[in-house]
Structure 1
Amino acid sequence: MSITLAGARIVTPEGVHGGWLTIEDGRITHVGQGSAPGPGHDLSGRYVVPGFVDIHNHGGAGGSFPTGDPDEAVRIAALHARHGTTTLMASLVTAAPDDLARATAALADLCENGLLAGIHFEGPYISLARCGAHDPALLRDPSPRELTDLLKAGRGHVRMLTIAAELPGALDTIREAVANNVIAALGHSDATYEQTLAGIDAGGSVATHLYNAMPPLHHRAPGPIAALLEDDRVTIELINDGVHLHPAMMRLAYDVAGPGRTALITDAMAAAGMGDGVYRLGPMEVNVADGVARLAEGGSIAGSTLTMDVAFRRSVQDVGLSLSEAAEIASLTPARVLGLADLLGSVSVGKQADLVVLTGDLEVCGVMKRGSWIVEPS
């Protein structure tokens, strides 16, 4: 079946142009400028951007990936898909070894059927001083042996591990992760600048939500932020919800790292797409008030209620990025992190037809995945 989208403002890495595109068998086959050569779905000047790729997401729609419940996972993915996220990685939190293995095995089934793009372990190998919304009683030193057992439970679908580089055994565990094609992400860390560099040299290539859950920049003790920002081997995650980061700090990170090393994430938890109330993130109780999630005990920020369309829109309207720049950090760069940039992440011929249609105000009015509408624009 062939689909033509006409009358669009197509956002590509090179810029925005008025034109059309055709889709066959779930792939983009043509991208043209001006009037379409034949009849098609007229988008009346609305924007077309690549489907969003979220590599750090704990939940939404009242559900939480750390439970390992398949029905909750399906509900979470559906909620974020309606907001434009067509590629989604499930993030777990610190848990006991058996609980982590059980959730991993359950989510691996959903990776195999294509619902999820992989599994991310955020914890348990993180700093007590910077553990945020993780249960401090369940933290433990990095263990290559335990990681190997967890990877077996994931059956090849564990894609990322967040780890604090300063912990005993961290560097060996980073090397073990990378040797098994698992992305080592540095974060939830109290590391020095030098310890962070050692983590990067060992194979760390992502900064887990830069700025958050790590020491702030200091002119005599630059810490992990400076090390992660300045190293071209590292892609930085940013939570652009107006709570985790001031727009000026996002601009600062973007100006240093550029679009090729910057990836928007949501770090969403169960309350995304829901109202205020009491929720859980792993074993921890979370209160959500005015859309901000905080631990019931202690008040630490506990993930977000963000969706990727909001992060994209804020990047343009509040941070000042162009549409092409925002599309790159919401789609192409995170796709590159996952090794999927040849398949998705931009509106390009030959790529999977994962697309988001946006109004002039950058509100989602259509979502397509693999050439089929999830939300069909009127």
Structure 2
Amino acid sequence: MSSTTIKGNILTPAGWVHGAIAFGERVTGVKGSSSHPSRNDEDYILPGFIDLHVHGGGGRDIMQGGDAVHAIAAIHARHGTTSLLATTMTAPAEDIDMALSAIGAAAKQRRPNAARVLGAHLEGPYINSGKLGAQPNYARAATMAEIERLQTLAQLRVITVAPEIAGHLDLVRQLAERGVRVQIGHTLGSYEDGVAALEHGASGFTHLFNAMSGLHHREPGMVGAALAHAQYAELIPDLLHVHPGAIKTALRAIPHLYCVTDSTSATGMPDGEYMLGRHMVQKCMGGVRLPDGTLAGSTLTLDQALRNLVGLGLDLADASRRVSTNAADYLGLQERGRLAPGAWADMVVLDRDLNLKAVYIEGASCDLNDA
């Protein structure tokens, strides 16, 4: 790939640089002066967004298998997501197998104008049937033998579990020893259950506040365990799933909080009915819900998440870390989520109103109008 250079306000690991960034598939150099963007009116150049919880988009759902994952990766690329984890639903074993087989195949080769698929986030079926949220009721206890089999279909980078289920604490320890990020979610577990899971190697929380026992001053619940002890947790900042005040609380309490979309097939689509795994969901007024009104994922994209965070008062550099760098660090991906020599040239260019102007994925320009 030939070398490209773009100019603007570049967010580097050392701070803002007003200058130029050169890249092929990887960043080859950043030149310029240390200068805050407030001193000029040029574009922002940020690390590409990284979404570790993606169910769908553009009318397609990860659980469909086949080429759905490619179409979903393309939809999210047009909103600045340069890499993602395709996320499964709780479902019968054959459905999960089909979805993971497609994810595994998609992860082996990136298509043009599409985000890099980093692997899978297995959100269930190892959850508590009493805290399904929008998950279909196919919850069951996990076994290492089953997980090892699923790992042959796709790389399971993140697995959500309810730690209070019998046998799951030992499973958390085994998975953590193998480098899998185990997240606590869809759980009725107590504060004590959360602390025990963290002590056994759990490393994060799935859509913090949602589908878990809440904070009470005499029963801190799973939310309390996260706020008191977590280094990492994911959160959906669509301003529907979590109140802005709760988002600010989590930002103060959890050092490396990062944002996800939990996006569904309704993302980028008009109001109407869509599939989420085996559920029919309704998109209306910007939200996605089950017939009983339960929130069922979102229509959020990470460019809007960035704007929401800035609207809540975060400075742009901090907001950028929450939609990119922290997620990369969580997975141990030192070559993504930062603009520095040797890192993959995953980046977004935004105007002064934080609207996307360009997206580069491993150095290749993404067609933002591609259908």
Give your verdict on TM over 0.5: yes
- State the match for 2:59 in structure 1: 62
Of residues 71, 75, 91 in structure 2, which corresponds to 1:75?
A: 71
CA contact (8 A) 1:90 1:116 kept: yes
**1:46 corresponds to which of 18, 27, 43:** 43
Displacement of 1:81 in angstroms is: 0.3
Structure 2: runs of 5+ lacking an equivalent: 35-39, 111-115
Distance 2:266 2:362 in 1: 28
- State the Cα deviation string for residues 141-194 of structure 1 (Å, max 9, x = none): 22223222222332xx11111001111121122123224332111011111011
What is the alpha-carbon distance in structure 1 between the residues aligned to residue 257 and residue 13 of structure 2? 14
Give the Cα separation in 1 of the matches to 2:262 and 2:368.
Answer: 27
**1:374 has 2:366 as partner:** yes
Report SS of the residue matched to 1:216.
coil
Asked if residue 175 in structure 1 is aligned to residue 176 in structure 2, the reply is no
For 2:134, give the aligned amino acid: A
Matched, 1:293 2:288: yes
Give the match's secondary structure for 2:259. Answer: strand
- 1:102, CA displacement in angstroms? 2.1
Work out whether 1:98 is the aligned partner of 2:94: yes
**CA apart distance, 1:350:** 1.9
Whether contact under 8 Å (2:48, 2:324) holds in the other structure is yes
Equivalent position of 1:308 in the other structure: 302
TM-align CA RMSD: 1.8
SS of the aligned residue for 1:243 comes to coil
Letter in 2 for 1:194: E
Percent identical: 37
Q: CA separation in 2, counterparts of 1:33 and 1:49?
A: 15
Once structures 1 and 2 are overlaid, which stretch shifts more, 125-134 or 138-147? Answer: 138-147
Whether the aligned pair in 2 keeps the contact of 1:193 and 1:221 (CA below 8 Å) is: yes
In the TM superposition, 1:200-219 aligns within 5 A as 200-219=198-217
- Number of the residue aligned with 1:86: 82
Cα distance between partner residues in 1 of 2:170 and 2:145: 10
- Match for residue 336 of structure 2? 344
**2:78, 2:368 within 8 Å by CA — same for their partners in 1?**
no
2:240 alignment partner, one of 238, 243, 257? 243
Distance 2:215 2:41 in 1: 46
Conservation of the 8 A alpha-carbon contact between 1:142 and 1:168: no
Report how many residues are paired. Answer: 358
**Aligned counterpart, 1:40:** none
Q: Does 1:225 align with 2:217?
A: no
Change (3 A) 1:176 1:116: same
Q: Normalised by the size of structure 1, how large is the TM-score? A: 0.91
Does structure 2 retain, via aligned residues, the 8 Å contact 1:229–1:236?
no
With the length of structure 2 as denominator, give the TM-score of the two structures: 0.92
Q: In the aligned structure 1, how far is the partner of 2:284 from the partner of 2:11? A: 35
1:280 counterpart (271, 275, 279): 275
Paired residue type of 2:75: L
Contact 2:13 2:340 in 1 (8 A): no
Partner of 2:195: 197
Contact 1:144 1:172 in 2 (8 A): no
For 2:65 and 2:227, the matched residues in 1 are separated by 33
Pick closer, same or farther for the CA change 1:287–1:58 going to 2, 3 Å. Answer: same
Alignment partners' CA distance in 1, 2:29 and 2:143? 49
Work out the CA distance in 1 between the residues paired with 2:133 and 2:95: 20
Q: What stretches of structure 1 of length at least 5 have no aligned partner?
A: 36-42
User: Residue 251 of structure 2: which of 231, 234, 254 is its match?
Assistant: 254
3-state DSSP class of the match of 1:306?
Answer: coil
Alignment of 1:113-192 (within 5 A): 113-114=109-110, 115-136=116-137, 138-154=138-154, 157-192=155-190
The answer to whether the Cα contact below 8 Å between 1:286 and 1:295 also exists between their aligned partners in 2 is yes
Q: Is the 8 A contact 1:118 1:158 kept in 2?
A: yes
Q: C-alpha distance in 2, partners of 1:34/1:13?
A: 14
Alpha-carbon distance, 1:129 to partner: 2.1
1:42-72 deviation line (CA, Å, top 9, x unaligned): x9711111000000110101101112122x2
Map of 1:328-339 to 2, 5 A cutoff? 328-339=321-332
Distance apart, 1:19 and its partner CA: 1.6
Counterpart amino acid of residue 80 in structure 1: H
Q: How does 1:31-42 map to 2 (within 5 A)?
A: 31-34=30-33
**Residue 365 (1) aligns with residue 357 (2):** yes
Deviation at 1:376, TM superposition (A): 7.3
Question: For the residues of structure 1 that align with 2:358 and 2:233, how far apart are their CA atoms?
Answer: 28
